[in-house]
Structure 1
Amino acid sequence: MFAVNEGRLSEPPARLGETELGLYRWVARNGKMDAGLAAIELGLTPGALEAALASLTDLGLLRANADDPARLRPVDPDLVAAVVTTSMESAIRTHQAELHRTREQFADLRDHYRENLRRLPAGFEVIPGPQEVRAALTLAAQECKHEMLTSQPGGNRNPEVLQEALPRDTAMLARDVRIRTLYHHTARFNGPSQAYVATLSAHGAQYRTRHELFGRLIAFDRRLAFIPERGDTWGALMIREPSVVSYLCDVFEQEWTQATPFSDAATDGLELVAKDIDRTILRLLATGMKDATLARRIGMSLRTARKHIADIMETLGAESRFQAGVLAARQGLLDEESLHTASAD
């Protein structure tokens, strides 16, 4: 299990288990190793005893007796620890030196990067990829003192992303930072989102939902904001320009006042929530909106949105989307203004 060769550790030592510890204590108490008697008194099977002996001898805690090589005697654990920890400390020092050199190298590049930023409009910075975005968000969260505002479109949030955000958000709440988040209504059907909201709400975070959201936004202290980079790059645009950040926060506030407190769909009644979603889909269809755009607006996958559309048309007995709008209006499911907008298109 362990190997100590010429004072160097071939691999980091695992923690000794209760069997190994118990066997070492037995040998130290008796002054020598007697496999048969030890197995009986410790209640160990031959296999378990053999494995424990191998661990202790490989590590150097038990050593063959010079007068009787068939017997083992205990070795001072302080001496073994000195061998083990010396090699470990040496490895740690090496890694720390490498870490220091790496940080210095990246620090040397900082001035060149700042020179590049001067070519961009003041107050704007492109964060290129998901790992860099996560690092930037973590740093911004650590520096946040008063408030974080978040708009998170999409009904199905990645459990891994939520797990990563949990300690970051919990730490902010512990510092009395106010957290408010907007989700799509469809998030109320998502188990990981429900669990996350329940956990953070207990610590003081606030969550609301809407059928439509303006887009993804994370803002800290109304001084720093992140929005998605254009395209499917998974990057972000970091904004410090005061007027733009203020504008984005104002948009969030308008959405917040019209949103409803987060609750899972079962609590509100699945049928009621489903009808509410169908009314939103009908209204967007009446404007002539394409399926892909509609799906993004309500936080659904394209496949799920098209299934809803097909189910709605079948329920209404409509052969076209415009006819679906007319029939929905007659049944009081769609206001006349939305229908006139569709007709004009």
Structure 2
Amino acid sequence: MYARAVRRGRVPRWDAEAVPCLLELALLHPDPDDGDWLVPTTPNEIMARLLRGVYDEVRESQQRVGSAVAAFEWYAGLGRQAQAAPTSVEGTAIRVLDGQSRIQAALDEATRASTTEVLTIQPAGIPREHELAEGLHRALELRGRGVRMRDLYTHVARHSQRLLNHLELMGGSVEARTLDEVAERLILFDRTVAFIPANADRTMALELRHPALVDYLATVFERLWRLAVPLTAPLSDTSIEGISHREQSIAALLAEGHQDAVIAERLGISVRTCRAHIARLSETLGAASRTQLGVRIAQMGLDGSTRYAETISAGGNDSEDADQEEMSSSSSRWHR
């Protein structure tokens, strides 16, 4: 079945139901363009993965190693036959990477091939120590070849001394900027290959090589980059006394009707921290309830609306009526 998949490029999913081990061992994986078909993992990838397990057993069974190598040579021969056949760009434009080891191997390969620039978006807030340590070897390798690196973080990353130390270690080869919120994780090498998450827990990723997709992601990055603030530059203060930049960002998201957990994720902070900011915001604005907080946010223009500011500046007795009207109309929005 695997040999047939290598020769033909893919096989119907139902044909492989009798041999589930092919999916379990990741010898076959879903075609990103059509879930009813399975495409084969290349023999070279299989060889690299299986040899890691075989090395631990060398002392116990030399014969087993010999059999494995023989099998690898046979499959590699099939791979050479498949490579000799013409392939379409679309066939290699999107590759599904299942598992951290395959994702890491693909990132390492792209790092070795990179020659000009690497662009990354890191939405997770303050980077964890192990994340910085894992990326350090790639960053040092890129710096050694003169590759330019630009990283986008949320404003929360400004409070990470580990990140500041990491950037200092990298010297001028890495430039970092921050925004209130950024897009999902992205790593883009030389504007030719990009990696994005394929599921929520990031155990799967997509490797993208289609020029149109890569150009689109590069454009998104550049537009966010122009809006971002250099990591070492101070953030502009809000014009409203007693309300921090972070609380202003939370107010804008509250005005859009988002729940606390969604706001926390988008800003790269914990839900507990988010709720503490909301409590301080309510106290500053004199709001006794969530609905009233929505009204106060609109009155202060923190939601981008000018209607209340105009109403208040006009004076008169209608302001209280307008306040009550806004409380009523926004009640359902703030309790969604």
- TM-score tier after normalising by the smaller chain length: 0.5 to 0.7
CA contact (8 A) 2:127 2:163 kept: yes
> What fraction of aligned residue pairs are identical, expressed as a percent?
35
Change beyond 3 A, Cα 1:294–1:217: same
RMSD value over aligned CA atoms? 3.9
CA contact (8 A) 2:243 2:281 kept: no
> 1:226 corresponds to which letter in structure 2?
F
Please name the residue that 1:134 is paired with. 104
d(CA) in 2 for partners of 1:338, 1:182: 34
Gaps of 5+ in 2: 1-57, 309-325
CA contact (8 A) 1:149 1:180 kept: yes
Q: Deviations over 1:175-225 (max 9, x none)?
A: 11111110010011122222222222x142111000011211101111100
Q: Over alpha carbons, which structure has the higher Rg?
A: 1
> 2:112 corresponds to which letter in structure 1?
Q
For the pair 1:299 / 2:268, whether they are aligned, the reply is yes
Q: Does the residue aligned with 1:288 lie in a helix, a strand or coil?
A: coil
Q: Deviations over 1:241-280 (max 9, x none)?
A: 1101100110000000000101388x999xx998111100
d(CA) in 1 for partners of 2:279, 2:82: 51
Query: Offset of 1:309 from its aligned partner?
Result: 1.9
Please name the residue that 2:208 is paired with. 239
Aligned match for 2:161, one of 174, 191, 200: 191
Please name the residue that 1:163 is paired with. 133
Query: Offset of 1:226 from its aligned partner?
Result: 0.4
For the pair 1:285 / 2:254, whether they are aligned, the reply is yes
Please name the residue that 2:179 is paired with. 210
> 2:209 corresponds to which letter in structure 1?
R
Aligned match for 2:150, one of 180, 189, 193: 180
Q: TM-score w.r.t. structure 1 length?
A: 0.61
Q: Does the residue aligned with 2:176 lie in a helix, a strand or coil?
A: strand
d(CA) in 1 for partners of 2:274, 2:75: 46
Query: Offset of 1:323 from its aligned partner?
Result: 2.2
For the pair 1:310 / 2:309, whether they are aligned, the reply is no
Change beyond 3 A, Cα 1:167–1:231: closer
Query: Offset of 1:296 from its aligned partner?
Result: 1.7
CA contact (8 A) 1:124 1:238 kept: yes
CA contact (8 A) 2:103 2:204 kept: yes
Q: TM-score w.r.t. structure 2 length?
A: 0.62
d(CA) in 1 for partners of 2:165, 2:81: 44
Aligned match for 2:228, one of 256, 259, 266: 259
> 1:183 corresponds to which letter in structure 2?
Y
CA contact (8 A) 1:127 1:236 kept: yes
Please name the residue that 1:224 is paired with. 193
Q: Does the residue aligned with 2:224 lie in a helix, a strand or coil?
A: helix
Query: Offset of 1:104 from its aligned partner?
Result: 5.0
CA contact (8 A) 1:173 1:203 kept: no
Change beyond 3 A, Cα 1:338–1:253: farther
Q: Does the residue aligned with 2:244 lie in a helix, a strand or coil?
A: helix
Please name the residue that 1:153 is paired with. 123
Gaps of 5+ in 1: 1-89
Please name the residue that 2:13 is paired with. none
Query: Offset of 1:174 from its aligned partner?
Result: 1.6
d(CA) in 1 for partners of 2:130, 2:75: 29
d(CA) in 2 for partners of 1:245, 1:212: 21
Change beyond 3 A, Cα 1:335–1:220: same
Aligned ranges 1:43-62 → 2 under 5 Å:
none
Change beyond 3 A, Cα 1:302–1:246: same
> 1:284 corresponds to which letter in structure 2?
L
d(CA) in 1 for partners of 2:153, 2:97: 24
Change beyond 3 A, Cα 1:331–1:268: closer
